[in-house]
Structure 1
Amino acid sequence: MQKQNAPKSQLLSALVVASFGKRYDVELENGTQISCVTRGKKSDLACGDRVEIHMTSVNEGVVEDILPRSSLLYRSNEYRKKLLAANVTQIIIVIAAEPSFYEDLVNRCLIAAEAAGIRALILLNKSDLPETSAALKRLELYQSLGYPVQALSAKQDASQLRSWLQGQTSVLVGQSGMGKSTLVNALLPEAKSRTQEISAVLDSGKHTTTSARLYHLDSASSLIDSPGLQEFGLNHLTSDEMEHAFIEFRPYLGKCRFNNCRHHKEPDCAILNAVRDGKISQIRLESYQKLLSELA
């Protein structure tokens, strides 16, 4: 962010409630929403950011400063990073039995949450589908690690989610077609988020949310809906941060024969021994090794 051009006395506090590339909707303390841009070409704001703005007209302004964040959720590849949400306390990973959910994406979202210090909830939507029991079976691994799983059907009754949302600033993440916008509509009918039918031929959803948007559930609870994901790069993490984000690895870290052990084929590797003894899942080990190879 460039040095502010407006005197501090002229700045207003605001909350970023929607992001559209280089333009943002921000909410002033009186509840009024206006459109803002940032100074310069670089755009590094996320939905949920607290900012200070300078009004340039009745309905527009310029973001002059970003206030310190309590958390930042983002994804990255070797070329760029994509900010998803700031100052969130909870990530809700929305999946469904149909279209098929990518277990690799679930793992990546959990790793991103752990690395950012954000608690995670796995939400299995469309629980009325007959394939749900098989999906719940796949999720037993994550429940055994301590990650809560909530099953519901947003089209029938989303009220079970409200207790998880109370007092939290939550962000919905997941593949397209999992029903994130339907969840928002069920919780906040006035939001009128756009939904579309799933493409059965492609076994994937169509992108319906093209920008992140924050909704107030009550005075203490907010919900951010984010665009559907097909990938979740974690190139911003170091190898040490990566292994620590696998929570079942933590009791064994530092106990390998070699200090620089990467838990691949090294002798006397505490992680590999734990996998052999059934204390760590082979699925999670393979996920870790895949992510580590991407970093390399």
Structure 2
Amino acid sequence: MAQPANELLTAQIITSFGRRFIVRTYAGKTYEATTRKKRVDFACGDEVHISHINQQQAVIEDYLPRHSLLYRQDATRSKLIAANVTLMLIVLAAVPTPSELLLQRALLAAEAAGILPLIVLNKADLPQNKPWLEKLTFYQSLGYQVINISALYNVAELRSYLQGERAILLGQSGMGKSTLTNSLLGNEQARVGDISAALDSGRHTTTHAQLYDLDAHSQLIDSPGLQAFGLHHLSVSNLLHYFPDMRQYIGECRFHNCTHRQEPGCALKQAAADGKLKPERLQFLQSITDELIR
């Protein structure tokens, strides 16, 4: 029986191409969907109201209240990544060379969005992973969980973390996100590209955000590879809340507007001098602060 043209349906965005989407209703019907007036404030994982045009096409009218929204923002524009995510899988691998800075930025974004992060070191079969396991012990000391797996051989440990979650795979190209997706789904739904070892970088294999059902209660979103993670949407006044190793010093500086540089009585500078805070972390805080106030 055809749906009345003026009746709104509730659906979930399962694929995002920027301004074009694929949505799926709770009854399992999928539509190619567009938005009105070139709206771009929708993301994969959003629950939306749609009005259908015909049996294949629909228009997204609005989104339902979100539990979380993950996005990145540089000085000129914002990019929505996913909505209603509960778990962020930050995927690293020793080959090609991963970016620790991207990891740090992703962790800040997760903290700000209220999303639980899980650091996934992929390609456990590579001997080059060992130094990275040692490097990641610092992040474990901050309370973040780290798992070392191989997408090609065994993802059982990762699967246990995904139960009842809507998770997103986040990371640079070449880290194996699509291979992880294939392994978790048990098929070849995600495209996998060859790594260009000569350039020490991965080819982009996922060009849009795609949501998959792992089971009746768990979902996984594979996202395009990132080379940068803009944090201009964060507030300087809230930054310390997103650093697990610095939260305890909130309000301890002599001056309430301390920039944690030259001011006397800075609790963070004292903590770094006492060996309680890594100087590199203080430098990272300062660099993010500089970025946000430009």
TM-score with structure 1 setting the length: 0.95
Instruction: Specify whether residues 115 and 217 from structure 1 end up closer, same or farther in structure 2 by C-alpha distance, changes over 3 A only.
Output: same
SS of residue paired to 2:187: helix
What does 1:179-194 align with in structure 2 at a 5 Å threshold?
179-194=176-191
| Deviations 1:93-122 (CA, angstroms, capped at 9, x unpaired) | 000011111111000000000000111000
Tell me the equivalent position of 2:147.
Answer: 150
The Cα of 1:8 is off from its aligned counterpart by 11
Tell me the equivalent position of 1:205: 202
Paired position in structure 2 for 1:239: 236
Question: Which residue of 165, 175, 178 maps to 1:178?
Answer: 175
Specify the alignment match of 1:3 in structure 2.
Answer: none
- Higher mean alpha-carbon deviation, 188-197 vs 120-129, is at 188-197
Distance 1:60 1:200 in 2: 42
- Residue of structure 2 equivalent to 1:253: 250
Deviates more, 1:199-208 or 1:104-113: 199-208
Q: Percent identity?
A: 51
2:268 match: secondary structure: helix
Counterpart mapping for 1:5-44 below 5 A: 10-44=7-41
Amino acid at match of 1:58: Q
State whether structure 2 residue 161 is matched by structure 1 residue 164.
yes
Q: Which residue is equivalent to 1:287?
A: 284
Alignment of 1:63-212 (within 5 A): 63-212=60-209
Q: Secondary structure at the match of 2:58?
A: strand
* Alpha-carbon shift at residue 191 of structure 1 (Å): 4.8
Partner-residue secondary structure (3-state), 1:14: strand
Say whether the 8 Å CA contact 2:181–2:222 is kept in structure 1. Answer: yes
CA distance in 2: counterparts of 1:283 and 1:157, whole angstroms: 35
Instruction: Please report how far the alpha carbon of residue 285 of structure 1 lies from its aligned counterpart in structure 2 after TM superposition.
Output: 1.5
Distance 2:268 2:77 in 1: 31
Amino acid at match of 2:180: L
Q: SS of the counterpart of 2:246? A: helix
Q: Aligned equivalents of 1:235 and 1:8: distance in 2?
A: 41
1:62 equivalenced with 2:59 (yes/no): yes
Match of 2:169, SS state, is strand
Q: SS where residue 248 of structure 1 aligns?
A: coil
Query: Structure 2: which amino acid aligns with 1:276?
Result: A
Give the secondary-structure state (helix, strand or coil) at the position aligned to 1:40: helix
Alignment RMSD, CA only?
Answer: 1.3
Question: Any conservation in 1 of the 2:5–2:51 contact (CA below 8 Å)?
Answer: no
Distance in 2 (CA, whole Å) between partners of 1:133 and 1:147 is 18
Matched residue count: 290
Residue 218 in structure 1 maps to residue 218 in structure 2: no
Give the secondary structure class of the aligned counterpart of 1:157.
Answer: coil
> 1:265, CA displacement in angstroms?
2.4
Flag the 1:66–1:191 CA change in 2: closer, same or farther, 3 A: farther
> 1:191 and 1:129 mapped to 2: Cα distance?
23
Q: Matched residues in 2 for 1:12 and 1:41: separation?
A: 20
1:142-185: CA deviation from partner (whole Å, max 9, x where unpaired): 00000000000101111110111011110010000000000000
Q: Alignment partner of 1:247: what SS?
A: coil
Distance 1:265 1:202 in 2: 41
CA shift, 1:192, in A, is 2.0
- Cα displacement (A) at 1:262: 1.6
The Cα shift of 1:243 comes to: 2.1
CA contact under 8 A between 2:5 and 2:53: conserved in structure 1? Answer: no
Q: TM-score, normalised by structure 2?
A: 0.96
Which segment is superposed worse, 181-190 or 240-249? 240-249
> Which range moved further: 276-285 or 80-89?
276-285
Unaligned stretches of 5+ residues in structure 1: 1-6
Q: Return the offset for 1:203.
A: 0.8
CA distance in 2, matches of 1:269, 1:104: 25
- Distance in 1, matches of 2:188 and 2:18, equals 21
